Amino acid sequence: MKKVLIPTKLDSLATKILADHGGYEVVQEPKTPILDLAKAHPDAHALIVRSEKVTAEVIDALPHLKAVVRAGAGFDNIDGKYARSKGIDVMNTPGANSNAVAEEVVALILADLRHVVRADETTRRGEWEKAKLMGRELTGKTVGIVGLGHIGRLVAKRIAGFECRILGYDPLVPPEKAKEFGIEPADVETIFRESDFITLHIPQNAETKGFVGKKLLALMKNDATLVNCARAGIVDEDAIREAKGLKAIRFLNDVYPKDAEGPKSVADIADLMMPHLGASTVEANRNAAIRAAEELVDLDEKGVSPFVVNRDMPAGLDASYCDLAFTLARLARTIIGAEKPLSRIEVSCYGTLEPYAKWLSLSLLNGIWGDINRASDFKAVIADLENRGVAFKVREADASKKYENSMTVDLAAGAAQVSVRGTVGEGVKMIARIDEFNHLYWTPTRNAVFFEYDDRPGVIGAIGDALHKADVNIEDMRNPHNPATGRSMALLSTNKPVAPELVAAIAKTISAFKASALSF
């Protein structure tokens, strides 16, 4: 059992997903300090955290730790570099909290424009400050968004209903893409000069520390508002303090250097303050819990995840090909027989994938066994295979075949052999060939079943009838024939797993040479 520690108030769905999957023991103790929890469970395999600090001391207390999942987008509360030095993957769940933060931005702006907090306080005291609480409207104003990731784009979508002019800046988002979101591309200076409201949605790192300083603040309109629901360090507090002494700008804030009780350094300059409530909604907590659990399972099974934030992906390699390598290996292993000891593994990478063949081997081998050490380099993986008695070879790709950006995986177990090839098109995995059956272009789904048999009428009908009686629906099918051998293959995607007993019964009915239930 892999032990997972959750030292935070995360939705119980995370525990349920891991428990239902099997193989995980979850310890969730939100009231126990993370270091104390780590010391009490040194055998932990993974951590799922929210804002808890995962320091080098915490990591050292967990010698078997393999993954840390941040149930949220920002991950500067985790020492990712130290984790990497220990072979530990750090992941986040981008998008899970995005809507909650976007709605908070709108709530802060509206609350400030209409003096909601002061109006409530004074009216409760029996006062009637109607004349003093004259507000302003958001409709028709200019809103500038710095950072057009998940949250920034949702802010634009939510603000659009107020008929605002929306300016946006993000060096990683092409202007054409920004326009698709109803955002007018602009540089940072233009945003600070022309916006009535400026909201920040960028990460905190060495490049962005103190991003909003004297220069940008000096450009702001006299009555403009700055909103920070991102990270405390991206604004220069002293610069805001100085700017507010010169002009009537407003500052709405939800983030601090440390999430804890006690005096806040921005208390004298923030016009509205909240205790880091951006992601604190029932829905966001649920989404983050689901994503965190699913990502951990995915990482453990496939070895690579596009959500790992502290492992460098080689420049030019799309993470979807790591998933392809895992899927091809899982498919080949299932067809040849998961119980058979392998004697040989060979892989070919074509097109732009060829330089990454060794790097992709980690994902491939996880698809076969699932227990390859993710922190290993290629040499360590080969040594592990030699200990298993398996010969491994990365073949030189034959460019004349013109298999652009494709991978071929061949497995041998004694006399049994299987060969599969696949690629990725528009971000979707496709299986192009299984043994002699070519041009399949099948998209692997979570559940499928495979049969190989002598070609003759009535076989597909028999398979379909058996699945129908078991209340299994066929969602997709490939049924290629090979005239040279007289054999056919039935490859069917199904809406639920097909029980091994049913696969065996169908195989007997149609006299199949090969039969397997597949799962990905």
Our CA angle for 290, 292, 296, nearest 5°, is 120
Does domain 313-441 fall under CATH 3.40.50.720? My reply is no
Evaluate whether 2-94+283-302 and 98-273 have a shared fold: yes
Q: Calculate the CA 3 to chain-centre distance.
A: 21
Task: Give the whole-number percent of the chain exceeding pLDDT 90.
Answer: 68
* Longest CA–CA separation in the chain, Å: 92
Q: Determine the pLDDT at residue 485.
A: 93
- Residue linked to tokens 């195989």: 507
CATH homologous superfamily, domain 2-94+283-302: NAD(P)-binding Rossmann-like Domain (3.40.50.720)
Rounded Cα distance, 108 and 356, in Å: 47
Poorest-pLDDT segment among 12-26, 49-63, 199-213, 218-232: 199-213
Confidence (pLDDT) at 304: 63
Q: What is residue 375's predicted lDDT score, i.e. its pLDDT?
A: 45
As its CATH architecture, domain 98-273 has: 3-Layer(aba) Sandwich (3.40)
Beta carbons of 321 and 409 less than 8 angstroms apart: no
The residues spanned by each domain of the chain are: 2-94+283-302, 98-273, 313-441, 445-520
Q: What is the pLDDT of residues 382-416, one digit of tens each?
A: 776 776 788 888 888 887 877 888 999 999 998 89
What is the rounded average pLDDT of the residues 94-123?
A: 94
Task: Measure Cα distances from 163 to 140, 156, 194, 224, 478 in Å.
Answer: 5, 11, 16, 18, 50
Average pLDDT, the chain: 90
* CA torsion angle 11 13 19 21 (round to 10): -140
What are the tens digits of pLDDT across the range 144-163? 999 998 899 999 999 999 99
Give 55's pLDDT tier (boundaries 50, 70, 90): very high
pLDDT in tens, 198-247: 999 998 877 789 999 999 999 999 999 999 999 999 999 999 999 999 99
With respect to CATH, is domain 445-520 assigned 3.40.190.10? no
Confidence of residue 293 (pLDDT cuts 50, 70, 90): very high
Residues contacting residue 77 through CB under 8 Å, at least 6 positions apart: 49, 51, 52, 53, 54, 70
Q: Record the tokens describing residue 302, joined without a space.
A: 């496939």
**Phi and psi at residue 41, in whole multiples of 5°?**
-135, 65
List the one residue out of 207, 12, 240, 254 whose CA is nearest residue 109: 254
pLDDT value at residue 354:
87
Task: Give the confidence band of 381 by pLDDT, cuts at 50, 70, 90.
Answer: low
